[in-house]
Structure 1
Amino acid sequence: MRKILVGLIVLMGFVYIFLIPEEPVGMKIAMKLVPMMLIILYGFLADSPVSPLYKRTILAGLVVSMIADGVIYWFMAGLATFFVAHLLYIQAFRKERRKPVPVFVAIPLILYGLFMAVWIAGSQLAAGEIVLGVAIITYIGVILIMGWEAIRTRFPLAITGAFLFICSDSFLAIDRFVIPLPARDALVMITYYAAQVFLAVSIRSQFKRSTNLS
């Protein structure tokens, strides 16, 4: 069943990214949600972890992300909803954190956050878009905290999912606020769907790891 679901996620993700036209918008939004529904189903059917709260919170983050997918066409509403999803992922990771972030990872992560804040939010603040600039800085902060807390879990799949999410958000922000990116949709959505898959699969890997340690 898991292999079938993964195959369907890949297939429907491909269909959405490469085959569904921009119009009508309602169809575009509906098809965008299908891979997320399958990812949520995968997470729901995954073996329960030793910490049931991890599974519930990751699933809640996936559901809120799916809602954000539907409202992202109203950018600020989508940004706020994804912000909530990241808070849920942070909460899940904090329940499972084991070790501090290594210095060789912490420094590049912080520098990247500062660079993105200056480059993207700075351009909006310079243009007089104060509210948007502050919102972007806040969002950059929360996704970096999400990546930071994922590293502390030492769950490879959770870490991979978190950093793919950072990549997806970065591609979207660069394209929207700085320079158009070639193949923007493919860059953003492939990394986005992959991030959510890794986060969903981390439910199962977390179970295996905890069991092996007991």
Structure 2
Amino acid sequence: MTRKLLLAFIIIFGLYYVFFIEIISQPLVMVFKLLPMMLIILLAILTKAENIIPYKTLIILALIFCAFGDYTLQWFILGLSCFLVGHLFYIRAFLSEKGTTAPRWIIILLAIYGLSMMIWIGSSLIEENKIILAIAVSAYMIVILVMGSTSFRTGSKVAVSGALLFIISDSVLAINKFMFSVDYSHQIIMLTYYSAQILMALSIPKYSAIRSKVIQYKH
């Protein structure tokens, strides 16, 4: 199976779950939710990459934990924990090579955004006496923002775009779950989520090409 064909299947099954979830029988909903992620993991595994073995391995591990998160999100804290571990693997992947750090203005914007979200959502949860949940959500927000900022170290626009889409997806999910109902939340959350994961997988060959150029330049 070529990578292009595999990518086509990912897009087809992803769009089917996003836009036709209402006609999927309940016992099969989770199957169709996980199918695009399984194919994305396969895409990452089959991708050939030189000079970045640690990066590829860490991205695959991140995708696997995110897939676990997809399934266990029905038990929110457990799912959140799986996604948090996935993001830690993404962070480790982005830090696997010394690269350009994120521009200071990006870091400042992410910090302001993260602090605003933590105060907004965290204070609401604390008022409802959900202290542990408030702490968990705040910790997760910190980790995903670190993931976003460290993605710039790859020098890959694909990885950066994937990280930012992930932040958007999780932000909408949190707002919809804890603050107020967001119109078309399922479509927004899953479209940005699948797109983020696809880009993370596609960052493997992009990062490989960047590293190969760096190595050739050093020699």
With the length of structure 2 as denominator, give the TM-score of the two structures. Answer: 0.94
Corresponding residue of 2:131: 130
User: Taking every aligned residue pair, what percent have the same amino acid on both sides?
Assistant: 37
Cα distance in 1, alignment partners of residues 17 and 102 from structure 2: 36
What does the per-residue CA deviation read over 1:30-77, in whole Å, with 9 as the maximum and x for residues that have no partner?
A: 110100011111111111231200000000100111111111111111
Counterpart amino acid of 2:18?
I
* AA in 2 matched with 1:124: L
> Which residue number in structure 1 is paired with residue 53 of structure 2?
52
What amino acid is aligned across from residue 140 of structure 1 in structure 2?
Answer: M
Partner of 2:29: 28
Aligned-partner Cα distance in 2 for 1:112–1:188? 18
What is the CA distance between 1:25 and its match in structure 2?
4.0
Q: Which runs of 5+ in 1 are unaligned?
A: none
Question: What CA distance in whole angstroms lies between the structure 1 residues aligned with 2:24 and 2:213?
Answer: 50
- Structure 2: segments with no counterpart, 5+ residues: none
Task: Tell me how large the CA RMSD over aligned residues is.
Answer: 1.3
Query: Aligned pair 1:17/2:37, yes or no?
Result: no
**2:177 corresponding residue in structure 1:** 176
Give me the whole-angstrom Cα distance separating, in 1, the residues matched to 2:103 and 2:147. Answer: 15
What letter matches 1:160 in structure 2?
S
Which residue does the alignment assign to 2:115? 114
Q: SS in structure 1 opposite 2:57?
A: helix
* Alignment-mate amino acid for residue 201 of structure 1: L
CA 1:127/1:96 → structure 2, altered by over 3 Å: closer, same or farther?
A: same
2:94 match: 93
Structure 1 counterpart of 2:210, one-letter code:
R
Structure 1 residue 96, shift from structure 2 partner: 2.5
Q: 1:22 deviation in Å?
A: 7.8
Give 1:171 shift: 0.5
Deviation at 1:128, TM superposition (A): 1.3
**How far apart are 1:21 and its partner, in Å?**
3.0
- Contact persistence 2:106–2:149 (CA under 8 A): no
Deviation per CA, 1:87-140, whole angstroms, max 9, x where unpaired?
A: 111111111241222112111111000011011112101221110111111010
Contact preservation (8 Å) 1:61, 1:89: yes
Partners of 1:144 and 1:26 in 2: how far apart?
A: 34
Q: How many residues are matched? A: 214
Check 1:159–1:18 CA distance in 2 against 1; reply closer, same or farther (3 A cut). same
The answer on whether the counterparts of 2:155 and 2:207 sit within 8 Å (CA) in structure 1 is no
Query: Which region of structure 1 is more displaced relative to structure 2, 34-43 or 19-28?
Result: 19-28
